[in-house]
Structure 1
Amino acid sequence: MTNVVFAERFAESPLRIGVRTSVMATILAERVATLLGKAAPGIRIELVKIQVTSDHWGGDLSVIGGKAAFSKQIDEALVGGQIDVAVHCMKDVPGDVPLPEGTAFGAYLEREDVHDVLVTRDGTPLADLPPGSVIGTSAVRRAAQITAYRPDLRTKRIRGNVDARLDKLHAKDSPYAGLVLARVGLQRIGAVDEHQEVLPVEFQGDKSTLSMVPPVGAGVVGVHARVADAPVMQLVNQLNHPSTAAHILAERTMLHMLRGHCNSPIAGYATTTPDGQMAMFGMVFNQDGSAFVRSHAWGDLGDPAILGARVAADLLHQGAMKLIDATGRS
């Protein structure tokens, strides 16, 4: 892409970034805007805030179309030309719904922290919460792993942005003893506290050890654009972090093969080992965490889709689809 071509493309209008209206989404879009501004000095950039279906819904996502409720209106604006790029948290991009025709992710920013944390009013760790305590979480994956470790606890669905969830925890009549939240989200809004319990991402092989394996796409921001818009796609590609892109390809290949939907208790996490291989861990739970299958494999960093497919095939061989189907689809 030459500077002349790009200058002509945006001579009379700014580059428009579509984003949800939440504080968290705005923070991420501003980060992308800053990076694009550095890649193309002098370009005018405008954030276009778009209300999505999930912004108006506090119940089960499956009722309103699953994770697509986080992005449907933004995707429509991208396809329709009202925006030039869209910014998404990859953990919110569904695995059972194809991207709109003619669009693709042009960049994945370097992965951030993937840990979940337990937030309580007094810093009590998960192991020490009294039996019957209620833990708030919006993710079936988290609920399954909590109840696998502490079947004497109860989980209760909680929706809304991070600030709203924290307000519900600290309310005088709150039913929640604690919340499980993504640490990266707390970091982004400056709400990390030393008393929060960081939950380990490694599954140790039995239910007696606490773990919280992350979801596919955890800690990764994706930048989505129209394939035919070559100047924008080439600019966006300058933000791409190659190893993160490889990890995401492995994870999402697994997710696609499992046909994961918004209620699926699926966990998946790919990393690069010190010797340059790619390692990937995948798990599928039933809804209460009493049954699960797991797979851990290694492969070539240059062919991440093969590794993701291998992990998915192993999980399917172990009966993952029965566990997924038992949770119901959107």
Structure 2
Amino acid sequence: MQSSTEPSSADIVATIGTRGSPLALAQAHEVRQRLADAHGLAAERFAIRVIKTSGDAIQDRPLYEAGGKGLFTKEIEIALLAGEIDLAVHSAKDVPTFLPDDLWLSSWLPREDPRDVFLSLKATALADLPAGAVVGSSSPRRRALIARLRPDLKLASIRGNVETRMRKLENGEADATILALAGLKRLGLQGKANEILDPHTFLPAAGQGAIAIETRRADERANALVAAIDDRDTEVAVAAERGFLALLDGSCRTPIAAHCIVEGERIRFRGMIITPDGREAFEAAREGARGEAAALGADAAQEVRAQAGEKFFTLFAGA
């Protein structure tokens, strides 16, 4: 189930658990380097351990058909709870809103650009795709937003890491796809993007672009290590977005989008839920003090839930 990318050593300060995709490894190495710099240590003193997750193993169907969120974190959290690793590195958008009692998201890296991008070998922008063109995505949010903006396009479910999905475009399995700009930038592939999508019309996923570090609540040593690299603005922004998710059954089945901008002591938040066919969208916005981020996100969720009515969640969220 697991393998190590580095030999064990008595000099190891902490072991970092991560998925094994190129993007996940890039994120883990960034965390390692930041920890090394913050504590004046060699990067090699922080070991990286690759853990294969259920989400990595399932490639034949959309993740919401296999149980939804948590598929990219479950096995890593098991290793963390067992003391096999000292900290876990996650893409924040993969982390369920509710964690095991003994674990918490203790630190955040500075957030990368949260926007989505359009990639295609046949068009320079989403608006330029011809009617009937196939856009590949397995994300309910992206599929719903594409259907809302371009109901004349066809949708196909494609999965895999960034490189795999780009290769599927080259193989003609789809005419275009949508990916996170943050992932492309971390892999040095941002030049592959044809168009950066405007968040006003293509609202990002909650937590997109943010790297979360998970530790055991009672592990004072690990918590002290990661506290040195915590980015408070990212923590505040994602608190609002996860507060929105928590009240809306933020599973992989539900098309939900949320984005928070931190401006000094103030935040601006916008959240949305969309029917899978893109025909209806319900949204709410909030502004307030950064200390109220989670509460503002939750309050926006209550408004959106009231707008949509419970039928949205019975007819669409479980569809």
Do residues 292 (structure 1) and 281 (structure 2) align? yes
Matched residue type, 1:57: I
Aligned to 2:311: 322
Q: Secondary structure at the match of 2:141?
A: helix
Do residues 83 (structure 1) and 85 (structure 2) align? yes
Q: Assess if the C-alpha contact under 8 Å between 1:116 and 1:181 holds in 2.
A: yes
Q: Secondary structure at the match of 1:76?
A: helix
Q: Assess if the C-alpha contact under 8 Å between 2:122 and 2:176 holds in 1.
A: no
Aligned to 1:73: 75
Q: Assess if the C-alpha contact under 8 Å between 1:62 and 1:262 holds in 2.
A: yes
Q: 1:20 to 1:320 in 2, by over 3 A?
A: farther
Task: Report the CA distance between 1:122 and its aligned residue.
Answer: 3.6
Do residues 304 (structure 1) and 306 (structure 2) align? no
Aligned to 2:64: 62
Aligned counterpart for 1:223 among listed residues 188, 194, 213: 213
Q: Assess if the C-alpha contact under 8 Å between 1:144 and 1:285 holds in 2.
A: yes
Aligned counterpart for 1:266 among listed residues 247, 256, 263: 256
Q: Assess if the C-alpha contact under 8 Å between 2:266 and 2:290 holds in 1.
A: yes
Matched residue type, 2:135: I
Q: Distance in 2 between matches of 1:195 and 1:90?
A: 22
Q: Distance in 1 between matches of 2:57 and 2:316?
A: 24
Q: Secondary structure at the match of 2:279?
A: coil
Q: 1:328 to 1:304 in 2, by over 3 A?
A: closer
Q: Assess if the C-alpha contact under 8 Å between 1:285 and 1:324 holds in 2.
A: no
What does residue range 1-330 of structure 1 map to in structure 2 within 5 Å? 13-42=12-41, 44-58=45-59, 59-95=61-97, 98-171=98-171, 174-193=172-191, 196-202=194-200, 211-273=201-263, 276-319=265-308, 321-329=310-318
Q: Secondary structure at the match of 2:47?
A: strand
Q: Distance in 2 between matches of 1:321 and 1:249?
A: 25
Q: Distance in 1 between matches of 2:169 and 2:11?
A: 48
Q: Distance in 2 between matches of 1:214 and 1:325?
A: 24
Q: Assess if the C-alpha contact under 8 Å between 2:53 and 2:75 holds in 1.
A: yes
Matched residue type, 1:69: L
TM-score by length of 1: 0.89
Identity in percent: 34
Gaps of 5+ in 2: 1-8
Q: 1:61 to 1:187 in 2, by over 3 A?
A: same
Q: Assess if the C-alpha contact under 8 Å between 1:258 and 1:321 holds in 2.
A: no
Q: How many residues align?
A: 308
Matched residue type, 2:186: R
Task: Report the CA distance between 1:323 and its aligned residue.
Answer: 2.6
Gaps of 5+ in 1: 1-9, 203-210
Residue-by-residue CA offset, 1:17-47 (whole Å, 9 max, x unaligned): 0000111100000000001111222362110
Task: Report the CA distance between 1:11 and its aligned residue.
Answer: 6.2
Q: Secondary structure at the match of 2:130?
A: coil
Matched residue type, 1:248: V
Task: Report the CA distance between 1:141 and its aligned residue.
Answer: 0.5
Coordinate RMSD, CA, aligned: 1.8
Q: Assess if the C-alpha contact under 8 Å between 2:122 and 2:175 holds in 1.
A: no
Task: Report the CA distance between 1:328 and its aligned residue.
Answer: 4.3
Q: Distance in 1 between matches of 2:163 and 2:193?
A: 17
Q: Secondary structure at the match of 2:131?
A: coil
Task: Report the CA distance between 1:201 and its aligned residue.
Answer: 0.2
Q: Assess if the C-alpha contact under 8 Å between 2:116 and 2:178 holds in 1.
A: yes
Q: Distance in 2 between matches of 1:320 and 1:31?
A: 43
Q: Distance in 1 between matches of 2:65 and 2:152?
A: 29
Matched residue type, 1:148: R
Q: Distance in 1 between matches of 2:211 and 2:299?
A: 25
Q: Secondary structure at the match of 2:260?
A: strand
Residue-by-residue CA offset, 1:66-118 (whole Å, 9 max, x unaligned): 121101100000000000000000011123xx212211111011111111111
Q: Distance in 2 between matches of 1:197 and 1:304?
A: 30
Q: Assess if the C-alpha contact under 8 Å between 1:286 and 1:324 holds in 2.
A: no
Q: Assess if the C-alpha contact under 8 Å between 1:285 and 1:323 holds in 2.
A: no
Q: Assess if the C-alpha contact under 8 Å between 1:123 and 1:195 holds in 2.
A: no
**121-130 vs 299-308, which moves further:** 121-130
Q: Distance in 2 between matches of 1:131 and 1:27?
A: 37
